[in-house]
Amino acid sequence: MPSKVLRILRLLPRLNCGRCGYRTCMVFALKLAEGEEVPEKCPILVEDESYSKKLLELKNILRPPVRTVLIGKPPNSIVIGGKEVLHRHELTWRFPTPIAIDVSDEDSAEAVESRVGFVKQFYYERIGRRLKLDMVALRNSSGRREEFVKTLRRIIELVDVPLIICSLNPRNMEACLEEVGDRRPLIYAATWGNWRKMGFLANKYGCPIVASCPGDPEGLRRLVGALKSACSVDEIVLDPGTLPEADGILYTLGLFTYLRKKAIKGDEFLGYPLLAVPAVVHSGDMGDYASMEEALAASMLLSRYADIMILRSLEKWVHVALLCLRDNLYTDPRKPPIISPRLYEVGKPDATSPLLVTCNYALTFSLVKSDVERGGVDSWILVVDTNGTSVESAVAGGRFTAEKIVKAIKEWGVEEKISHKTIIIPGKAARIASKLRELIPGWTVIVGPKESKDIPLFIKEKWAVIVRGGDGNAAS
């Protein structure tokens, strides 16, 4: 790894300008070597023609079996692909699958605003992370150039996210690229009927392009070869077709798996990211069941092996489920999700508010915080460093100790925030209560509930008694 990092660093500008989002070129080189970034995130490599050969050399050094493709322009850009293995337990999957919401140029102005607003505003908090949607896909369903461009202009007024521009008509596509080509949208799509003209547009505007040949993997392979050789296009996304209903989804899953296996085995013409379009289910006669069918297809394709996805539904439950699944799939299984140890505020606590203590395993903290918030209890939560392990495991392994709690109380100035000198420890840490009382004489140590959902009721029933001088041995 060190020699690879140095090879990468020699090809970077080494100006430490920070435009890539990292403080130094060395840090950026480390991220490139670990597969967490792509060379195009360095604007100098992209904008300065004198670096074109170095950029190409960098790409060759870093190229995984499934190539990375950059959509959009930094800092509002998304990287897709970059896979090196079939299964996430072999090596952490990089670059989570972005989800684009479909917008049709036949949608009313109100519908366009609503759909784009959903992308802009929707998020879900999970384990201390804010999960959100990523892109807008504009579809030229009307076939009219004027409506296509008009809708595009409205979208870019409303939101600044990476775009997918969907039309099989090269003239209509170019009309949109004249508006946003400098933002590097993903062009959808080159087919056997239009590939020369679409490939020319991708080359002219420097945009990535989708090669689409539904249900024909060998035809798709030849189409990629044609785009590469005749149009000098190399930023390609594959659309093998999405059939989300009944037996169609089984065929689609098999096709995606076949293409990914070929890529991992070294087929350079199929070593590109895969596009899934579960949104097509809404063009059928599923009615009220369309969103459910779309969610089912999307969830299967997320794990087998969609690198980018277009959805139509605006049902919140669809996106909460998919974002949580995506978060699980792309979390490094070797690293537990953690939060920073410190004193957190829940609501608007004052000097008389309860003081709770917990571990820094993100899931535990998230549950405690959300349950206290739902209970309407203004509180302080002191988070102790347990190396990302849960309370019960940390107590058993000596990572959640009385000594660590005392150290955290001092480190984070807890006594300056509260006036009651009372601390509530988790029920699963009851065994350290006696030791903690010895180490902080004058404090009241309360053993709280074992489950975070019981904390609000526990506090409401007992806190008034506790702050008046309750029993230091109280337990739930």
- My answer on whether 264 and 165 are in the same domain is yes
> What is the full DSSP assignment across 161-206?
S-EEEE-S-HHHHHHHHHHHGGG-PEEEEE-TTTHHHHHHHHHHHT
State if pTM tops 0.85.
no
The residues, ordered by sequence, that sit 6+ positions from 260 with a Cβ below 8 Å of its Cβ are 66, 83, 86, 274, 305
Q: Look at residue 472 and tell me if it is in a domain.
A: no
Single out the residue of 462, 448, 455 nearest to residue 371, CA to CA.
455
For residue 473, being part of any structural domain is answered with no
CA–CA dist 435, 425 (Å, integer): 12
Are residues 259 and 274 in contact, defined by beta-carbon separation less than 8 angstroms?
A: yes
- CATH code (residue 417): 3.40.50.11600
Give pLDDT, residue 300. 96
Q: Is residue 475 part of a domain?
A: no
**Co-location of 67 and 17 in the same domain:** no
Check whether residue 292 and residue 371 sit in a common domain.
Answer: no
**Residues ≥6 apart with Cβ < 8 Å to 138:** 103, 104, 105, 148, 151, 152, 155, 163, 164, 165, 166, 176
Q: Is residue 334 part of a domain?
A: no
Q: Which of 61, 84, 105 is the last residue of a domain?
A: 61
Specify whether the CB–CB gap between 458 and 449 falls below 8 A: yes
d(CA 127, CA 338): 9
38 and 82 both lie in a single domain: no
Nearest to 137 by CA among 177, 166, 112: 166
Both tokens assigned to 392: 């019960």
pLDDT, residue 284, reads 74
The phi, psi pair for 273, rounded to 5°, reads -60, 150
236 and 352 inside one domain: no
371 and 383 within one domain:
yes
User: Are 295 and 260 within 8 A, CB to CB?
Assistant: no
pLDDT at residue 197, rounded to an integer: 98
Contact 321, 349 (CB under 8 A): no
Residues 150, 162: Cα–Cα separation, whole Å: 18
Measured from the Cβ of residue 158, the count of other Cβ atoms closer than 10 Å reads: 16
Q: Give the residue numbers spanning the domain of 321.
A: 63-329
From the CB of residue 297, how many other CB atoms can be counted at a distance below 10 Å?
Answer: 27
Confidence (pLDDT) at 469: 55
Work out the number of other CB atoms within 10 angstroms of the CB of residue 370.
Answer: 15
Are residue 4 and residue 148 in the same domain, yes or no? no
Asked if the structure places residue 197 within a domain, the reply is: yes
**Residue 233 CA: distances (Å) to CA of 35, 204, 230, 237, 404:** 23, 10, 8, 11, 57
Q: Are residues 259 and 384 in the same domain?
A: no
Burial per residue of 173-200, b for 16 or more beta-carbon CB atoms within 10 angstroms, e otherwise: bbbbbebbbebbbbbbbbbeebbebbbb
Do 72 and 116 belong to one domain? yes
CB 105 within 8 A of CB 111: no
Location of structure tokens 């080494």: 14
**Residue 336 half-sphere exposure toward CB, CA atoms < 13 A:** 18
Q: Which of 61, 95, 112 is the last residue of a domain?
A: 61
Is there a cis peptide before residue 251, judged by omega within 30 degrees of 0? Answer: no
Across the chain, which distance is largest between two alpha carbons, in Å?
Answer: 83
Q: Are residues 147 and 197 in the same domain?
A: yes
Q: Which of 74, 96, 41 minimizes the C-alpha distance to 29?
A: 41
Name the residue type at position 17: C
Residues 347 and 445 in one domain: yes
**Burial track 25-36 (b if 16+ CB lie within 10 A, e otherwise):** bbebbbbbbebe
CATH at residue 133: 3.20.20.20
Can you read off the two tokens belonging to residue 82? 């970059």
> What is the spatial distance between Cα 193 and Cα 293, in angstroms, rounded to a whole number?
30
Alpha helices in 309-442 (DSSP H): 316-329, 362-374, 391-396, 402-411, 414-417, 433-439
pLDDT per position in the chain (476 positions), as tens? 567 889 999 999 999 999 999 999 999 999 898 877 889 889 999 889 899 999 989 988 888 899 999 999 988 899 999 998 998 888 788 899 999 999 999 999 999 999 999 999 999 988 778 999 999 999 999 999 999 999 999 999 999 999 999 999 999 999 999 999 999 999 999 999 999 999 999 999 999 999 999 999 999 999 999 999 999 999 999 999 999 776 899 999 999 999 999 999 999 999 999 999 999 999 877 777 899 999 999 999 999 999 999 999 999 999 999 999 999 999 887 777 888 999 999 999 999 999 999 999 998 999 999 999 999 999 999 999 999 899 999 999 999 999 999 999 999 999 999 998 999 999 999 999 999 999 999 999 999 999 999 999 999 888 877 665 544 444 33
**Looking at the domain assignment, is residue 192 inside a domain?**
yes
Does the residue 476 lie in any domain? no
The verdict on residue 338 lying in a domain is no
First to last CA, the chain: 52
Q: Which CATH number is 30's domain given?
A: 1.10.15.40
Considering 61, 86, 104, which residue would you say is the last residue of a domain? 61
Q: Which secondary-structure segment (H or E) carries 80?
A: strand 76-80
Work out the number of other CB atoms within 10 angstroms of the CB of residue 248.
16
Strand residue runs (E) in 254-387: 275-276, 308-311, 343-346, 355-359, 379-384
Q: Are residues 270 and 408 in the same domain?
A: no
What's the domain count of the chain? 3
